[in-house]
Structure 1
Amino acid sequence: MEALRGFCTHCAASALLVCAWGELGASACFGGDINSLTVLSCPALSGISVVDSLGAGDSFVAGLIYTLVQSGFTPDSHLRGKDQAEVVEKAVSFGCRVAGLKCTIFGYDGIRELVHSTESATN
């Protein structure tokens, strides 16, 4: 996480950096200079039997971007009263869930239904 924090200080103040750590979950860093950075982490999906991890990273990114878009996230969303930390944490968490679920099946057949079934179970 310190590497992510350090790298974030070299990026534009509006940057959102996200790093998936595989079975350790994922972290995100955003918010500008070193004194005002927000760093958060979300755990990987637990209690699963891994069948096929190929594509888990891509699945993570898809879940992350999907949630950011659905939430109306933009680099300046905090200026419109949106809580960036809440939105980013939700997106990173969903990305971890999608990646974990992807690992429970071979290939991608059925991933959409699997994700939607767990979404409705957790809402």
Structure 2
Amino acid sequence: MRLTEIEFNDSKPVDGYGPGFFRIGGKLIEGPVVTGPSGTRSWGGLDDTETLLAFAGEVDVVFVGTGADVAHLPDALSEAMETAGIGVEPMSSPAACRTYNVLLSEGRRVALALLPI
């Protein structure tokens, strides 16, 4: 079996998650978090649209983890992202982590916003 090491550039993969926390690129972050080409930081949640809009021109899609279960995004968030030309995909936070990691490993232009499980 041959293993090939992946380079993630400035974006970091999700290493793990649990009740109230995420581990991204080896760094433990409690509460909601956003990560992408410009780094990893705390996030204000679904009402914090400006943080996600900052990805305009950097990413094609932002995966939004809505916690333990998938939930609809607020209309204002979906509309703002569409206007900015950024795709947005809501899913459960565990599914969002997995999807982000796979597409990141393929070199895709993706970002991730997560609510804790």
Q: Same fold (TM over 0.5)?
A: no
Which TM class, normalised by the smaller chain length? under 0.3
Larger RCO, structures 1/2 (Cα 8 Å, 6+ apart): 2
Q: TM-score, normalised by structure 2?
A: 0.27
Structure (1 or 2) with the greater helix fraction: 1
